[in-house]
């Protein structure tokens, strides 16, 4: 038998086998036989042997007067001693071991164990003979203390063949092997176990002494019957019949409590953690301020820039001062009540009890009180499926009388299950606290946005540059706008208008009114859903423009472009100025960004017909410029500059596009909006353009598969159903949130959602910040939007071709139908859009006038003259 197999007497057995009553019967049987054998051996007297036995003495009376087990005992003991000598005593000891094993650990007594007993007896007897121990022959042991077996195997055979030393070595080894088979333990580990047991016994005694002292102290200071946490390092464990741990509940103080149960030290004792406390603001007085840190970096950058290479915006905002944190207020009342330990322990005990009533045994774990929720951890006993706890959410909610509970089974990275309940009183997480956090001030994030605090009090700072786009969704009043405001505020506090620009699309009209004059705006806040598409198209064009510039500069992306060697840039500028001087058609040197962009925008239409020499692909999540075969188009292979060369700015600002209420946009021109968003989200990251989309309508027709696939980072606020939660996060959970900033944040990389409480920034704070920014400059809107589309100016009723805004809206719908059906006819528009004949015909005429469809050819559908996708 292999050692591994032999070392397995506590053989893994099924629960049924373990719980079989026969274990106890056999256990008791073994102990009884062991007792009988021992009694028979110790009380053996040859005079008890019957006269017919060859062991009988001549003076034997035939009466049994000495042996405690009578004639049977005398016969057994006599023959055993004759055969095995004193090694016969090993038999009752082995049987005692087996009995204890059966009763205590339900260990099955294997054949290997019996073989071990035999080996021990034979080798033990032979060793006595080889070592000449107890070899005296008398009436008790007629063949000596080694018995017949020892005499023959040890004395006659082995000692003769191997000599005393050889025989001792062989027999000693055999004896240890037998012991190994019987106990299932390596001989050395037996010694170690014994030592460990002694140590444990001593520790337990010490623990009992400590707990007695502790309980005596508490009994003096606590109201009888309340719950207190288990003293540090001490746990009370009760094992039930099946060996499952049932104890470790908080100890009820009072007269009934005592320490009759054994104590153990692992696993770590439960703790009560209160992470809802705001970090004291005055501790930070000695630390460098956010604005100071970043203004220093900005000043360095401007100083290092080669003379004359600063962009117009940078020149305009050269002396721009970032807002001071003093503009953000610490709330006077954070709504925080002191932690009521006994209440928390009481709720935890209720949870444990509720689970126990469903036959689920758990040990209480840590309790963490976060700003909005408290997480109660419970540790399931071995062999319990955590899904059983997860399925009991409704029952736990009933037991704890909670409106909504959330179960994390298990908590990611832990061996416990988390049960999250809303706090009776919520604590506010002021934005200022997050913006003053070291992670925000000195962290590595390029576009840091303060989101909130998790249940453990850890600051959640996202990096928009890594995200690279964000979806925020939740029911109305759940905290989306506050979240968007926190993000905008974080960026305003960190970036000057020449470093970051916003495009805000706010069909709800009221949400972003406060930012109307913010100098960071690249376009006026867009409130008309019809114009939103134009704004998104502007973003797409800006993105393409940036790629052109990257290609010309041989840069891979926004980062490398902004950090490229400035010396090289100065040289390139000089060379380009020389070329421009030689080519009169070329752009005048010193043309500002905006006018160059406008020129590019005009040219874009011409360019649409020209086949592209390069296309933008995505490699490893990053976007770069490659040709059709996938080869990188570096400096040498960059596509040849178009007729008019673009002036390269020194640096480009980040562009953050915020769409507050996607549903409103999706109602106007869903396909176009979807395409524009998909295009931006697929490619804009490398161009320093990031998109944040918010909606209160988490439906599959608003957050479409295409949008979702391209926005991996999500924030879900409270929603009304698990279905909505799945639309946002691809999993349930958001329906259990408690609203008012309670959120699930899925960080980039698709990790597990992190439950956190969103940061709160008030309207007053936003006004103060915006005022600070406005005082330093007005927004510089990009002229090309007005020039190109004429749509961002005043809302004229009639367009240049006499099309009213109402007709324009209808036209968008017609275009969508034509795009889907890939054909255009009056009857199709009538049928699909339920238009009257006159209106449908007018639409067809306008489309023909605009050169989108060809002239009518009788009953045939019109030819579509433009690419619709
Ligand atoms: N992080 C937060 N901390 C504390 N309270 C908050 C937080 N976020 C939101 N609230 C509370 O919830 C209210 C509603 O928040 P908010 O306006 O952001 O909701 P919303 O989801 O944008 O609603 P709607 O979609 O109707 O605009 C706020 O007025 C505020 O009282």
Q: What is the dihedral of CA 507, 510, 511, 515, to 10 degrees?
A: 100
**CA–CA separation, 231 and 212 (whole Å):** 11
Quick one: 582 exposed, middle or buried, by C-beta within 10 A (0-12, 13-18, 19+)?
Answer: exposed
According to DSSP, residue 660 is labeled: E
H/E stretch holding 16 reads helix 15-18
Q: Which fold has domain 287-336+426-721+732-790?
A: Rossmann fold (3.40.50)
Ligand 1 atom closest to 486 (CA): 1
Does 478 count as an annotated binding residue? yes
**DSSP codes joined into one string, 56-96:** --TT--S---S-TTHHHHHHHHHHHHHHHGGGGGHHHHHHH
389 CB neighbour count, 10 Å cutoff: 24
**DSSP codes joined into one string, 549-598:** HHHHHT-SSHHHHHTS-HHHHHHHHHHHHHHHHH-TTSPPTT--HHHHHH
Does 614 count as an annotated binding residue? no
Does 476 count as an annotated binding residue? yes
CA of 444 to the centre of ligand 1 (A): 29
Please, are residues 77 and 87 in contact by the beta-carbon 8 Å criterion?
A: no
Ligand 1 atom closest to 482 (CA): 18
CA of 469 to the centre of ligand 1 (A): 22
CA of 718 to the centre of ligand 1 (A): 11
**What sign results for the dihedral spanned by CA atoms 136, 141, 142, 147?**
negative
Ligand 1 atom closest to 474 (CA): 21
368 CB neighbour count, 10 Å cutoff: 24
Around 706, how many Cα atoms within 13 Å sit in the side-chain half-sphere? 15
Does 480 count as an annotated binding residue? yes
Ligand 1 atom closest to 759 (CA): 1
CA of 742 to the centre of ligand 1 (A): 10
Query: If you average pLDDT over every residue of the chain, what do you get?
Result: 76
Tokens 């008791």, located at residue: 28
- Domain 797-869: assigned CATH number: 1.10.10.10
Could you give the ipTM of this predicted complex?
Answer: 0.97
Closest to 50 in 3D by CA, of 34, 67, 33: 67
Please, are residues 858 and 868 in contact by the beta-carbon 8 Å criterion?
A: no
Residue nearest to atom 23 of ligand 1 (CA): 477
**Ligand 1 neighbours (beta carbon < 6 A):** 428, 474, 476-482, 696, 740-741, 758-760
According to DSSP, residue 299 is labeled: H
Residue nearest to atom 12 of ligand 1 (CA): 740
Closest to 785 in 3D by CA, of 516, 520, 540: 540
Whether the ω angle into residue 761 lies within 30 degrees of 0, i.e. cis, is no
Q: What is the pLDDT of residue 232?
A: 43
Does 479 count as an annotated binding residue? yes
**Which phi and psi (to 5°) does residue 573 adopt?**
-60, -45
Tokens 């007993």, located at residue: 117
**CA–CA separation, 436 and 285 (whole Å):** 11
CA of 867 to the centre of ligand 1 (A): 43
**Which phi and psi (to 5°) does residue 638 adopt?**
-60, 145
Q: What is the pLDDT of residue 207?
A: 64
Mean pLDDT by 10 residues, the chain (869 residues): 42 49 85 93 85 75 78 88 90 90 73 90 91 79 84 87 91 89 73 74 70 63 43 41 38 38 53 72 54 66 52 68 85 63 84 85 87 89 84 87 85 87 86 88 89 89 91 92 94 90 89 88 87 87 87 83 67 68 47 40 37 33 36 36 57 90 85 87 88 91 87 92 91 88 87 88 92 87 51 47 74 87 87 82 85 81 80
Does 856 count as an annotated binding residue? no
CA of 277 to the centre of ligand 1 (A): 21
Q: 661 — alpha (psi -120 to 50), left (phi > 0) or beta? A: left
CA of 754 to the centre of ligand 1 (A): 19
According to DSSP, residue 327 is labeled: G
Residue nearest to atom 6 of ligand 1 (CA): 740
Among 481, 661, 694, which residue has the most ligand 1 atoms within 8 Å of its CB, making it the best to mutate? 481
Q: Helix, strand or coil for residue 227?
A: strand
Q: What is the pLDDT of residue 221?
A: 54
Whether the ω angle into residue 468 lies within 30 degrees of 0, i.e. cis, is yes
Does 477 count as an annotated binding residue? yes
Among 479, 694, 765, which residue has the most ligand 1 atoms within 8 Å of its CB, making it the best to mutate? 479
Does 29 count as an annotated binding residue? no
**CA–CA separation, 811 and 844 (whole Å):** 9
Reported pTM = 0.57
Around 513, how many Cα atoms within 13 Å sit in the side-chain half-sphere? 5
CA of 760 to the centre of ligand 1 (A): 9
Give tens-digit pLDDT for 28-71.
999 999 999 999 999 888 888 887 878 777 766 667 778 888 88
According to DSSP, residue 514 is labeled: G
Q: Could you tell me the residue ranges of all domains in the chain?
A: 10-184, 185-258, 287-336+426-721+732-790, 797-869
CA of 728 to the centre of ligand 1 (A): 18
């Amino acid at each position: 038998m292999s050692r591994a197999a032999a070392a397995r007497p506590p053989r893994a057995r099924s629960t049924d086998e373990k719980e079989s009553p026969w274990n106890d019967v056999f256990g008791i049987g073994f102990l009884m036989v062991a007792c009988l054998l021992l009694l028979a051996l110790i009380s053996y007297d040859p005079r008890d042997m019957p006269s017919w036995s060859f062991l009988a003495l001549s003076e034997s009376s035939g009466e049994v007067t000495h042996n405690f087990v009578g004639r049977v005992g005398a016969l057994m003991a006599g023959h055993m001693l004759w055969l095995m000598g004193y090694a016969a005593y090993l038999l009752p000891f082995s049987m005692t071991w087996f009995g204890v094993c059966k009763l205590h650990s339900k260990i099955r007594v294997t054949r290997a164990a019996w073989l071990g007993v035999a080996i021990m007896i034979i080798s033990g007897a032979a060793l006595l003979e080889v070592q000449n121990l107890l070899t005296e022959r008398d009436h008790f042991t007629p063949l000596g203390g080694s018995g017949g077996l020892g005499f023959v195997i040890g004395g006659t055979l082995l000692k003769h063949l191997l000599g005393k030393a050889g025989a001792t070595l062989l027999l000693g080894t055999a004896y240890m092997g037998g012991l190994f088979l019987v106990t299932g333990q390596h001989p050395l580990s037996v010694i170690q176990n014994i030592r460990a047991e002694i140590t444990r016994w001593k520790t337990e005694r010490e623990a009992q002494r400590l707990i007695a002292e502790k309980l005596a102290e508490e009994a003096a200071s606590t109201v009888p019957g309340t719950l207190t946490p288990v003293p540090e390092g001490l746990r009370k464990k009760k094992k039930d019949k099946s060996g499952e741990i049932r104890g470790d509940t908080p100890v009820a103080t009072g007269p009934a409590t005592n320490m009759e149960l054994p104590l153990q030290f692992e696993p770590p004792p439960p703790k009560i953690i209160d992470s809802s406390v705001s970090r004291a603001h005055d501790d930070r007085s000695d630390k460098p301020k956010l604005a100071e840190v970043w203004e220093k970096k900005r000043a360095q950058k401007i100083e290092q820039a080669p003379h004359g290479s600063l962009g117009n915006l940078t020149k305009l905002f050269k002396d721009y001062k970032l807002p001071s944190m003093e503009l953000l207020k610490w709330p006077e009342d954070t709504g925080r009540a002191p932690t009521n330990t006994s209440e928390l322990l009481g709720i935890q005990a209720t949870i444990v009890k509720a689970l126990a009533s469903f036959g689920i045994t758990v040990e209480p774990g840590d309790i963490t009180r976060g700003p909005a929720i408290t997480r109660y951890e419970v540790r399931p006993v071995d062999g319990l499926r955590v899904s059983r706890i997860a399925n009991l959410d409704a029952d736990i909610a009933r037991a704890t009388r909670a409106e909504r509970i959330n179960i994390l089974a298990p908590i990611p990275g832990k061996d416990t299950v988390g049960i999250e309940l809303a706090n009776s009183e919520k604590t506010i997480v002021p934005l200022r606290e997050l913006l003053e956090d070291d992670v925000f001030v000195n962290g590595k994030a390029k576009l840091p946005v303060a989101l909130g605090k998790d249940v453990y009090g850890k600051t959640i700072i996202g990096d928009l540059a890594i995200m690279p786009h964000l979806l925020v969704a939740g029911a109305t009043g759940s905290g989306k706008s506050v979240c968007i405001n926190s993000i905008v505020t974080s960026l305003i506090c960190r970036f000057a208008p020449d470093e970051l620009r916003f495009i805000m699309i706010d069909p709800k009209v009221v949400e972003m009114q406060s930012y109307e004059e913010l100098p960071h705006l690249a376009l006026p806040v867009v409130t008309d859903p019809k114009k939103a598409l134009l704004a998104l198209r502007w973003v797409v064009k800006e993105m393409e423009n940036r790629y052109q510039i990257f290609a010309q500069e041989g840069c891979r992306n926004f980062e490398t472009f902004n950090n490229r060697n400035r010396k090289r840039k100065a040289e390139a500028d000089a060379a380009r100025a020389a070329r421009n001087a030689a080519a009169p058609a070329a752009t005048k040197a010193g043309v500002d960004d905006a006018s160059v962009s406008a020129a590019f925008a005009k040219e874009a239409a011409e360019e649409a017909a020209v086949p592209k020499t390069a296309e933008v692909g995505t490699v490893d999540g990053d976007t770069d410029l490659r040709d059709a075969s996938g080869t990188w188009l570096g400096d040498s292979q960059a596509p040849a500059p178009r007729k008019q060369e673009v002036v390269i700015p020194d640096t480009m600002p980040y562009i953050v596009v915020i769409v507050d209420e996607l549903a409103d946009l999706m109602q106007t021109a869903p396909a176009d909006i979807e395409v524009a968003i998909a295009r931006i989200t697929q490619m804009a990251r490398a161009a320093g353009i990031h998109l944040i989309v918010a909606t209160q309508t988490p439906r599959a027709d608003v957050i479409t598969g295409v949008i979702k696939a391209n926005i991996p980072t999500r924030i879900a606020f409270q929603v009304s159903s698990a279905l909505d939660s799945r639309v946002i996060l691809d999993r349930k959970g958001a329906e259990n949130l408690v609203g008012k900033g309670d959120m699930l944040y899925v960080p980039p990389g698709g990790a597990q959602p992190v439950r956190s409480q969103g940061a709160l920034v008030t309207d007053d704070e936003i006004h103060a910040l915006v005022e600070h920014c406005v005082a330093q400059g007005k927004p510089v809107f990009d002229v090309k939007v007005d020039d190109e589309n004429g749509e961002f100016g005043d809302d004229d009723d009639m367009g240049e071709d006499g099309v009213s805004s109402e007709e324009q809206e209808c036209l968008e719908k017609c275009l969508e139908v034509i795009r889907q059906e890939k054909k255009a006819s009056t009857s199709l528009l009538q049928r699909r859009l339920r238009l009257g004949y006159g209106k449908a015909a007018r639409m067809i005429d306008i489309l023909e006038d605009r050169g989108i469809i060809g002239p009518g050819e009788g009953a045939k559908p019109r030819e579509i003259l433009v690419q619709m996708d």
